[in-house]
Structure 1
Amino acid sequence: MARRVAGGRGGTGVKAPGAGVKAARRPELRLPPLEPYDGAGLEPDGDYDGLEFREADFAGQDGGGARFMDCALTGCALDETRLRHARVLDSVLTGVRGVGTDLAESTLRDVELVDARLGGVQLHGSVLERVVVRGGKIDYLNLRKARLKDVVFEGCVLVEPDFGGARLERVEFVDCVLKGADLTEATLVDVDLRAAAELDIARGVERLAGAVISTHQLLDLAPVLAAALGVRVDGGAEGA
């Protein structure tokens, strides 16, 4: 089994000094020696343990209900790959790419996703725990009604991510660009947005209770917050 080492900022989940917010636990995975995967493709309910998938093309394949344990997926194509109800545990995914990957109602635990290029990923109803998303770009990430705990988005670009109805606990956005995020009916607990490189919330700004933002971000969000609260901002007549 991969050895997990708590690392990064606040790896123990304690509150950062003066921040009033608990930091996410960041696992660092040390995979055991891996065997190259030599199978023909994914299988529903397949069991993949201690394997290395390198430059594999899984486009259009069905791996629903599969379990990946102590695996490394590098440069794999995941276009329209069906992985609903999959379990990805103690694994590292590097440079994966694809559009329409279906991971709905899946479990990702102790996972690193590095330099991914994905679009329209379906993760609604999924559970993410001790997950790091580092680098890369993900367009239209669907996390509706998902549960995220100890998740870090770092140095990545998220275009129109949908967190509608999701629960985010100890989630950090570090040097991460959020464009058009949807927080409708989301629940935020110890969510740290202060280090986000760009914070653009399209819907659900009133759900930011439970998050911490910087003074600069507050000023940027002021018009959206005022609109959500029904506040009309009037600079007053000139010369008054």
Structure 2
Amino acid sequence: MKGARRPEVRLPALEPYEGGGLEPDGDYDGLEFRDADLTGQDGSGARFMDCALTGCALDETRLRHARVLDATLSGVRGVGTDLAEATLRDVELTDARLGGPQLHGAVLERVLIRGGKIDYLNLRTARLRDVVFEGCVLVEPDFGGARLERVEFVDCALKGADLHAATLVDVDLRGAASLEISRGLDRLSGAVISTAQLLDLAPVLAAQWGIRVEG
């Protein structure tokens, strides 16, 4: 089992973001977005490098195909944030409160997601490499068709995870505080779980394989 490499984000001195709205294909370098209301704005295809987003509102913010590189996002919140087919590399996301964020087809590499709660996270067909979920709550995350390589779940709750058609390589689930899988139990061959988790999953595994268990 190969462990995930965590990001090491060291931001330079940042300039404050002065507003004006995001622009498609915009270039944002060395900026601090603090308590910015980015609701409904369109930053599709934009590049965020050496940036910090703190306490920002991301409701329905369109960031499709965006590139977020060497950046921190802290306390961001929003419903329906669109990061489909985006690239996140060397990113730390902490204490987020997100509902239905769209990251299908996205690429996540050296990403740490710590704390907070994310409902209905859509990572279908995404590619995750060296990603750590730590101390967060994921409600019905969808990993359908995704590829997870060197991904760790540490002290986090996975509720109703969908692994249908996913590919798992060196995925460590042993540290998950709770583990509930709604679909795709047959895709766990590339993961490691604890003995206690195996016992918790036993009824679902038995039902899937048609095994009748009697006392």
Which TM-score band (shorter chain)?
over 0.9
> Aligned residue for 1:108?
88
1:89 paired with 2:69, answer: yes
Q: Deviations over 1:45-102 (max 9, x none)?
A: 0000000000000000100000000000000000000000000000000000000000
Q: 1:49 and 1:157 mapped to 2: Cα distance?
A: 31
Alignment of 1:218-233 (within 5 A): 218-233=198-213
Alignment of 1:2-81 (within 5 A): 21-81=1-61
Match of 1:192 among 172, 183, 194: 172
Tell me whether 1:131 sits opposite 2:111 in the alignment: yes
TM-score, normalising length from structure 1?
0.89
Check conservation: 1:206, 1:228, Cα contact below 8 A: no
In 1, the alpha carbon distance for the partners of 2:82 and 2:7 equals 25
Question: Is the 8 Å Cα contact of residues 119 and 140 (structure 1) preserved in structure 2?
Answer: yes
Could you tell me how far apart the structure 1 residues matched to 2:21 and 2:52 are? 15
Deviation at 1:109, TM superposition (A): 0.3
Runs of 4+ in structure 1 displaced over 6 angstroms? none
Task: Find 2:185's aligned residue among 183, 205, 209.
Answer: 205
> Structure 2 counterpart of 1:22, which letter?
K
Which residue identity lines up with residue 71 of structure 2 in the other structure?
S
Aligned length: 215
Structure 1: distance between partners of 2:178 and 2:184: 17
- Structure 1 residue 39 displacement after superposition: 2.9
For residues 234 and 164 of structure 1, the distance between their equivalents in structure 2, rounded to whole angstroms, comes to: 33
Q: Can you list the C-alpha shifts for 1:89-142, whole angstroms capped at 9, x where unaligned?
A: 000000000000000000000000000000000000000000000000000000
User: Structure 2: 5+ residue runs without aligned partners?
Assistant: none
The yes-or-no answer on 1:164 pairing with 2:164 is no
- The answer to which of 27-36 and 75-84 deviates more is 27-36
Please tell me whether the aligned partners of residues 148 and 171 of structure 1 are also in contact (alpha carbons under 8 angstroms).
yes
1:232 Cα deviation from its structure 2 partner: 2.2
- Please tell me the root mean square deviation across aligned C-alpha atoms, in Å: 0.6
Aligned residue for 2:100?
A: 120
Q: Whole-Å Cα distance in 1 between the matches of residues 125 and 17 of structure 2?
A: 33
Distance 1:229 1:70 in 2: 49
Query: Where do 5+ consecutive residues of structure 1 fail to align?
Result: 1-20, 236-240
Please, what TM-score do these two structures have when normalized by structure 2? 0.99
Instruction: Spell out, residue by residue over 1:12-58, the C-alpha distance to the aligned partner (whole angstroms, 9 max, x if none).
Output: xxxxxxxxx11000122110000001131100000000000000000
The DSSP-based 3-state class of the residue aligned with 1:190 is strand
Larger Rg: 1
